[in-house]
Structure 1
Amino acid sequence: MLSSSSSRGASSEYGVISITANEGFSPNHPLSGSTSTYGVFKKETKPNGYGTIFRPLAVNGVDLMSVEKSECKMDSEGDLEAILNTNHSIDLFESDFKDSNLEIEAMEKIRQDLRVHERALLRDALLIAKVFHQRVHSLTKDYHLLEEMFIQIDSIATSISKFIQEIDSLQLLNSQSQTGNLMNMMIESIGTAVTKQDALLRNMTTYISALYQLKHSNAAFRMMLNDFEASSECYLPVIWLLIRVLNRLLHWQEACARVVEILLANGHVNGALGTARMAVDHLAHHSASTAPTRKLLYDFAVLLEIESQLCGITPIMHPDRHLLMLGRVSEVLNDGFAPRLLLLFNDVLMVTTENRDAFSILRLIHLSNLKEGSASLITQNSRTCILVDSEEGRFIFTAKVTSLWLETVSEGIRMYHRNPPALLKLQLVLERKGNSEGEINKLSYGRLTLMSACWLRGGTIGREEIHQMAEKWRVGVLLRRLRSSSGWQRLFVLHSHGHLFFFNSHKDSHPLAALCLLEYGVSVPTLHDQIPQRNVFKISHQQLSYFFRTDSHYSFLRWVESVRASCLSRRPLDALTALSVHL
């Protein structure tokens, strides 16, 4: 329980905070063992005249000057948050007192974010245009479309490199005029960037189709592509790397929107605000106009990934086919329950089970054989199980999100009968197709495919959530809490495609490890976790927990927002975390 009181005089201001708890201090700490801790602090102006600090005077009557700084983990300014657990001591004056330089600090964060995101995209673009192209050039030199794709990606890489140099030339954003310079630079760059991105988008479907056809017709190219995607430097399949480059301007739109938000919050009505709004409008229009094509590409990429892990079926790739939902369920059999992975497409419900590095198809339930309402309740409780009656037989399934499956299957049946897709029926085959794939699931640093992640975590993911994951990504430096000590490890972290990829630095050519976020929950540390630092978020799944620390509250909010989009644990945020991220 948190409670507080304060008194303000003419020359000084004081406050008291109370925490009813007995955790948060080490056994040797003078304040340990207290069931109720009271802190008295004094509000003072910073020496430079900008902003305020809260200098602690005493806690439970203990003079803080007599307590070792290493024990209290105090910083040079004696910040109250260094004594009380960061995530359980609310900043009482945050809404009442604002530092006058917060606006400039936030703008500088946006500039740094732009720079680090562009640098990560440059790495991806060069990975395709240089590294991958060099490996397969002997096989693609006679394929005009693929060579054209490499040229376009290389051109975008050059554009990204130039933009990074322009960002660096601004140096620190230490004034409002510098903020205006950033917006002017972005306005000047948007036109060229949109032209290049549109040219790539117009042809991307053709390029990916050419890659797919060459992969299935040329054994040597297929082997090279599989080897490249299984290598440590290629942390994502080539098609998803292409999509990341294609989505470059989505982060620009977010950055410009943040600038508008900050300027409006600080009362600006002219200057950089008008330029920022112009940039947001231009980028938002481009995003909306390209959204349908981008979503088709996401669907195509998902089908390509799924097909690489399926065995015992004819090829599933088709422009009119897309995945509606994927997840692990339990099938009710006469002798008990059996784990299954369900794949609901817009024309068929596929029942599979794991088979080493792949998934074997047990049966296909075509939606053409189902009528609306055929996926009906077997009990009165929609959370218990569903019954599917079809020409293929009667099947009963249970899942953690049975009601969601019921709703999605029913909607899929309605959509099919309302507008049947022109698709040939998929057929089961006796043997696995000749080309051996699935290598991507064996990567040493732990990246999981959607199917493998849902199978291992018992998760479920829908089409819209996959689209969201494709567009939510973040990159930057995080500190990871070490389990063996109270220390922190500095890592360069890339969040993309539902994973956290960990690098020693941005110069590394391959990640040290990867963590799939599906079914993880996001929260702030509890008092029991004994994390006294600021801006720390926690991701957890069952008994596993990881703590990550950012360098600012701005970065904390952006990371939590981005990571939440990939976790899909369907667990609501606890009240404390919701307060921390202002939801």
Structure 2
Amino acid sequence: MSAPVFGTKDYQNARDRQNENRLSRCDEVENIPTVVQEEPEMDEDFHCHVNRTVSENDNSMMERDESPPPPPPPPLDDDIPFTPPCYRSTPQRDIDHGTSILSEHEGPRSNVSVLSSSRTEDSEDDHRKKAKRHLVDRAYYIAKELLMTERTYKKDLEVITVWFRNAVSNEETIPDCLITLFSSLVPIYEFHCDFLKELDQRLSMWEGKTNAHMNGDYQRIGDIMSDSFNTNVLNMYKHYIDHVEDLLTQVQENMKRNKKFDQMYKEFESQKVCYLPLNTFFLKPGQRLLHYRLILERITKHYSMDHQDYADCDACLKNFTDAVSECKDRMKLEENLQKLIELQRDMIGIDTLVDPDRNFIREGCLQKFSRKGYQQRMFFLFSDILLYSSRTASSLLQFKVHGQLPLRGMIVEESDHAKMAVANSFAIYGGNKCILVAASSQEEKDKWIEDLNEAIISSGNRNDSKLKYASLKSSTSSSENVDGETPEINGHVPEKQIHHRSNTTMHVCWHRNTSVSLRDHEKSVRNQMSGYLLRKFKNSNGWQKLWVVFTNFCLFFYKTYQDDFPLASLPLLGYAVNTPDDEDGIHKDHVFKLQFKNHVYFFRAESEYTFERWMEVINSATNSARRIRLFSRLDSQHAS
């Protein structure tokens, strides 16, 4: 695997080719291009494609890029098969080059998907109906999820081991922390290149693309999992995870000391291939161990104990369970450290946010009362302090911290005065300050009060000999803390030269007027998904096939899984996920609906299992069910 070397003519030419179809990473799917070439509905008249023009009034909730809109991607002419090759009743071309489209009764074809037959009122002959119902075992779809997510994992490893490694290869000196990073991660990447090939070949055999499926020996994954993830490989993972915390810290320190390295790092992070904050990719190996365990749990629950694949899968599950248990605490520390570093980079007015004794708890929007009335503010709750800020008007769109309240001794009060001020309001007393805030809903209010009270109790139980407060710059004025005006230094707002990443949770929370907690982040780590989906806009007549990756509360859209960077992204915080209503007019199986205000999208999965999995992982980012207010029980326990 090779990539253009950063800074060379080849690299610049590669970037120029990318920019021909470049789309801003911060844009939502509404803005993929102005005109999208879609696959037509699969009826008898399927010879012409359907063009969808996005209304100029269909504004994205995220900030748009000021650069001119890119041209639309080329038309999608891939096949979309509904059934595995061994069950197809018509001849097929090679999986990578198929071009035929079937009627609605058979549904669209894809070079990667195994979709069920669509709903239809017209009857088919009994033989074809029986063939459609004769789908492969559920274990196949679980194994296929392993393959789909493995493809994404390999691409994520390439961001560091191929792209970033080449980016720093031209530097005169490479920091020791990066040498350690590459020496630890490259062997893991090379292992997964081989493992992915073997897994891909096994699924091809399972699907019946060779005669090997006749004896059934290849309809299993436990054997290759056990053979591949031996003790040496698991130890390689453990060794890497043991050093991630030091790597994150050392990279951060080098960025502070070395301006040239800092510039190179941020320049690379602005590239489309780096679709998440770069240090997020440091955590992917630990997260992948957890995903292997969860996938093996699902397949062993599905198997009977006398199944030929059960013993291997169960033995492998025990190994991954032990590995995850051994690394669990360290992985939590590393996730927290990465989150603090991410917040620090997008906040100005504070330089001491990253602290080994500080834990992230919740971030989100509240309306704060000031002399100008209620104004939108971004709040950040940690294990020792509560910060509040507003977003700057600069092009970097960072958050300026206005003030902080210590948790020790803090009181949260739902007084009559607070209730009279505005709906869903409450008062927070901390130090020598009192602030009145209002949430966007009763449920948001409950979340904040629950986490605040729980954090206050935990803070009171800590045996800190000395309280550590964050050092705020130019935020000592009492008037500033009251009215929330952004302070100025020498006539301008101070800024850091960092690249804007508007699909990170703090920016999405600001736009969607919602919040995200530590528990939500832990769910997001567990729930990651990849695969092909058919997508349909609310007012379009056709379905478009896209490779979709769900991670970090966001859907990322690609034309195929081989692509190095996404076409666009759709942050899911604030969205609701459901099945289509009757008035939506969607008469297909395995379709789910995403909606935020007037933005509506329909996605069609390949099977009942994949539909359930997509609903599960997306619900982890969009679930708005009321949570039980644990703080009331905690208060009563504390009082007793």
8 Å contact kept, 1:83–1:532: no
2:569 aligned with 1:514? yes
8 Å contact kept, 1:346–1:416: yes
Structure with larger Rg: 1
8 Å contact kept, 2:117–2:589: no
2:542 aligned with 1:487? yes
1:188 match: 227
Change (3 A) 1:178 1:567: farther
Q: Which whole-Å CA distance do the structure 2 matches of 1:557 and 1:388 have between them?
A: 41
How far apart are 1:181 and its partner, in Å? 4.7
8 Å contact kept, 2:413–2:426: yes
2:242 match: 202
How far apart are 1:553 and its partner, in Å? 1.2
Whichever residue aligns with residue 472 of structure 1, its letter is: N
Change (3 A) 1:80 1:322: closer
Whichever residue aligns with residue 428 of structure 2, its letter is: V
2:205 aligned with 1:172? yes
8 Å contact kept, 2:106–2:118: no
1:82 match: 120
Aligned residues: 479
2:188 match: 156
What per-residue deviation string (whole Å, max 9, x for no partner) do you get for residues 130-166 of structure 1? 2111212354845333202112211111110111122
How far apart are 1:334 and its partner, in Å? 4.9
2:83 match: none
2:362 aligned with 1:318? no
What per-residue deviation string (whole Å, max 9, x for no partner) do you get for residues 244-299 of structure 1? 233222222222222212213xxx52532222222222212222222211111111
Q: Which whole-Å CA distance do the structure 2 matches of 1:436 and 1:178 have between them?
A: 58
**Equivalent residue in structure 2 for 1:281, among 315, 318, 324:** 318
How far apart are 1:475 and its partner, in Å? 0.8
Q: Name the SS for the 1:82 alignment partner.
A: coil
Q: Name the SS for the 1:289 alignment partner.
A: helix
2:499 aligned with 1:439? yes
How far apart are 1:101 and its partner, in Å? 5.2
What per-residue deviation string (whole Å, max 9, x for no partner) do you get for residues 221-254 of structure 1? 1111111111111101111112123322222222
Change (3 A) 1:482 1:176: farther
**Equivalent residue in structure 2 for 1:269, among 306, 310, 319:** 306
Q: Report 1:226-375 matches (<5 A).
A: 226-264=266-304, 268-356=305-393, 357-368=397-408, 370-371=409-410, 374-375=411-412
How far apart are 1:568 and its partner, in Å? 4.0
Q: Which whole-Å CA distance do the structure 1 matches of 2:161 and 2:118 have between them?
A: 51
Whichever residue aligns with residue 427 of structure 1, its letter is: S
Q: Which whole-Å CA distance do the structure 2 matches of 1:197 and 1:286 have between them?
A: 9
Q: Which whole-Å CA distance do the structure 2 matches of 1:134 and 1:259 have between them?
A: 39
2:433 aligned with 1:393? yes
Unmatched runs of 5 consecutive residues or more in structure 1? 1-25, 27-49, 51-68, 85-96, 442-446, 573-583
How far apart are 1:437 and its partner, in Å? 3.9
2:64 match: none
Change (3 A) 1:179 1:433: farther
Change (3 A) 1:354 1:269: same
Whichever residue aligns with residue 205 of structure 2, its letter is: L
What per-residue deviation string (whole Å, max 9, x for no partner) do you get for residues 382-439 of structure 1? 8832211233321111112212212211111111121155663212113599772441
Change (3 A) 1:177 1:80: closer
2:409 aligned with 1:409? no
Q: Which whole-Å CA distance do the structure 2 matches of 1:438 and 1:143 have between them?
A: 20
8 Å contact kept, 1:316–1:426: yes
8 Å contact kept, 2:384–2:459: yes
Q: Name the SS for the 2:500 alignment partner.
A: helix
What per-residue deviation string (whole Å, max 9, x for no partner) do you get for residues 472-516 of structure 1? 211111111144532111111111111111011112121110010
Q: Name the SS for the 2:523 alignment partner.
A: helix
Whichever residue aligns with residue 228 of structure 2, its letter is: S
8 Å contact kept, 2:538–2:600: no
2:175 match: 143
How far apart are 1:114 and its partner, in Å? 1.9
Q: Name the SS for the 2:290 alignment partner.
A: helix
Q: Which moved more, 1:533-542 or 1:105-114?
A: 105-114
Q: Which whole-Å CA distance do the structure 2 matches of 1:513 and 1:196 have between them?
A: 34
1:62 match: none
8 Å contact kept, 1:440–1:449: no
Q: Name the SS for the 1:280 alignment partner.
A: helix
8 Å contact kept, 2:379–2:388: yes
8 Å contact kept, 1:518–1:569: no
8 Å contact kept, 2:153–2:284: yes
1:475 match: 530
Q: Which whole-Å CA distance do the structure 2 matches of 1:176 and 1:263 have between them?
A: 19
8 Å contact kept, 2:348–2:495: no
Q: Which whole-Å CA distance do the structure 1 matches of 2:418 and 2:214 have between them?
A: 60
Q: Name the SS for the 2:541 alignment partner.
A: coil
How far apart are 1:108 and its partner, in Å? 2.5
Unmatched runs of 5 consecutive residues or more in structure 2? 1-42, 44-86, 88-101, 108-115, 123-129, 207-212, 475-488, 628-640
**Equivalent residue in structure 1 for 2:138, among 106, 121, 124:** 106
Q: Which whole-Å CA distance do the structure 2 matches of 1:433 and 1:197 have between them?
A: 44
1:134 match: 166
How far apart are 1:332 and its partner, in Å? 2.6
Q: Name the SS for the 1:349 alignment partner.
A: strand
8 Å contact kept, 1:229–1:440: no
| Cα RMSD for the two superposed structures | 2.9
8 Å contact kept, 2:529–2:550: yes
Q: Name the SS for the 1:178 alignment partner.
A: coil
1:528 match: 583
**Equivalent residue in structure 2 for 1:504, among 552, 559, 562:** 559
Q: Report 1:53-92 matches (<5 A).
A: 73-75=104-106, 81-83=119-121
8 Å contact kept, 2:580–2:592: yes
Q: Which whole-Å CA distance do the structure 2 matches of 1:380 and 1:180 have between them?
A: 66
8 Å contact kept, 1:385–1:402: yes
Q: Name the SS for the 2:564 alignment partner.
A: coil
Change (3 A) 1:302 1:338: same
Change (3 A) 1:286 1:349: same
Whichever residue aligns with residue 367 of structure 1, its letter is: L
Q: Name the SS for the 2:569 alignment partner.
A: strand
Whichever residue aligns with residue 303 of structure 2, its letter is: L
How far apart are 1:79 and its partner, in Å? 7.1
Q: Which whole-Å CA distance do the structure 2 matches of 1:466 and 1:152 have between them?
A: 26
Whichever residue aligns with residue 172 of structure 1, its letter is: M
8 Å contact kept, 1:481–1:487: yes
8 Å contact kept, 1:500–1:516: yes
8 Å contact kept, 2:177–2:251: no
Q: Which whole-Å CA distance do the structure 2 matches of 1:106 and 1:301 have between them?
A: 37
Whichever residue aligns with residue 150 of structure 1, its letter is: F
Normalising by the residue count of structure 2, what TM-score does the alignment of the two structures yield? Answer: 0.70
Q: Name the SS for the 1:436 alignment partner.
A: coil
Q: Which whole-Å CA distance do the structure 2 matches of 1:335 and 1:553 have between them?
A: 53
Change (3 A) 1:223 1:420: farther
Q: Which whole-Å CA distance do the structure 2 matches of 1:141 and 1:471 have between them?
A: 37
**Equivalent residue in structure 2 for 1:120, among 135, 144, 152:** 152
How far apart are 1:311 and its partner, in Å? 0.9
